[in-house]
Amino acid sequence: MKCLKKLSINTVSVTSLFTGGESPFSTRAFFDIIKYGSGKGISVNFTTNATLVKENTNELLGSGLEIVAFSLPDILMFTPEIRHNIEHFITCRNSSRKPDSPKTYINAALMERNFDTVEKVLSVSKELGVDAINFERSYPWRPEYTEKEETIFKKITDAAEKTDCKVVVPLPHTLPCRLFNTTLFMRWNGDITPCCYRPDHVLGNIMKDDFDDIISKREKFWKNMATDQVCTSCGI
């Protein structure tokens, strides 16, 4: 919480807050962060594998959360328990005083093992009643995937039209990427890194270092992004 407050003081505009990671429900601070962000007019988004969603549904619905994304990297991981948890959350949301909030999404990271299951993902998502399905490139995104992606994306949009599902497919990759251009990634301890895929590259700590120095190091990273080994292997 202290890190978030310090960040909001130093930045010109914080419009969105994305939360996730391992077992965020295990700490009371998780809900405090959501309420603090939403209270400041920040769009707070949360990504989860839905394992612990059922027992935390009421607090999530009352927290001011704007978006919940259920991560589904592989349809084989969609167990009856996970399905039940998501259905429970959506049923409770639909019967609440704000049936349109938070918005619910399925996040599907495209990878070789699930290229042929996109229709099934859409079918399951339709049954669940989520608001949309967001398909994204996985990391690393290999050159051979780039050669196939036009066909894969068309399969997604064709299936979405048949099932009347709202989908989002990845935009063309750019360097610097949209993720870097539109977000500032901060770890739980206040470390600022270029993005979630570069936790090894610490630009500074929001609690200890001068914010202008952090931004200066970030700009330096931006200038060298085209030769960075991780960035050049990323398709986000």
Burial 40-62 (b: 16+ CB within 10 A, else e): eebebbbbbbbeebbebbeebbe
pLDDT tens over the chain, length 236 residues: 555 555 554 454 444 455 555 467 776 778 888 888 888 787 888 889 999 999 999 999 998 999 999 998 788 788 999 999 999 999 999 999 999 999 999 999 998 888 889 899 999 999 999 999 999 998 888 888 888 899 999 999 999 999 999 999 998 888 888 888 877 788 878 888 888 888 889 999 888 888 889 889 999 999 998 888 888 888 87
Question: Which residue's structure tokens are 């949209």?
Answer: 178
Of residues 149, 150, 117, 151, the one with CA closest to residue 133: 117
**Does residue 175 contact residue 212 with C-beta atoms inside 8 Å?**
no
Reduced to 3 states (helix: H, G, I; strand: E, B; else coil), residue 182 is helix
**Does residue 127 contact residue 91 with C-beta atoms inside 8 Å?**
no
pLDDT of residue 12: 42
Residues ≥6 apart with Cβ < 8 Å to 180: 194, 195, 222, 225
Reduced to 3 states (helix: H, G, I; strand: E, B; else coil), residue 122 is helix
Q: What is the pTM of this model?
A: 0.82
